[in-house]
Amino acid sequence: MVPLSYILFLSVVLFAIGVYGVLSRKNGFGMLISAEIIINAALLNFVGASASLSSLSGASYALIILVMAVLEAVVFVGMLIAYSKKTSSVLLSKLRRFRG
């Protein structure tokens, strides 16, 4: 079993890559895919701590987060489809026209 610090470092690296992806993408689907990297980094954090501390609480939290991530993705995809019906695009930069 590797030390917990290695797992946390890997989680930080994945989180940073995901944040870069969310910030650099203009497409809504691209942002959602990058957000999945962030969620998986958080899951890795919980599972790593759970394995390191020999406790199932972290795995329980990870399971709950996993289900919440699915619900978030479902609503986000639904909103993107509704948004693309109105703007004929999924570029979130066009959200500015709805400002006000």
Partner 1 sequence: MDISTVGFFALSAVLILFAILIVMSKKLVHSLVFLFMFIISMASMFIYLNAVFLSIAELIIYNGGIVLLLAIGISLMPEGSMGRKGMKYLIFIPVAVIVLLSFLASRYPASQASSPMNYSNLGMILFQNYGIILVVLAIAGVASLLSALYIVGERS
Number of chain positions touching partner 1 (CB under 8 A): 58
Contact 95, 79 (CB under 8 A): no
Q: Are 41 and 18 in contact (CB under 8 A)?
A: yes
What are the tokens at 33?
A: 């895919």
Binding partner 1 (rule: CB under 8 A), the pick from 5, 12, 26, 64 is 64
C-beta separation of 65 from 38 below 8 A: no
Neighbours of 77 (CB within 10 A): 13
Among 60, 93, 94, 95, binds partner 1 (CB under 8 A): 60
Give whichever of 71 and 99 is closer to partner 1, judged by the CB atom.
Answer: 71
Site for partner 1 contains 27 (CB under 8 A): yes
Q: Is 89 in the site for partner 1 (CB under 8 A)?
A: yes
According to the binding rule CB under 8 A, does residue 92 interact with partner 1? no
Tell me the CA end-to-end span of the chain in Å, nearest whole number: 54
CB of 76 to partner 1, least distance (A): 9
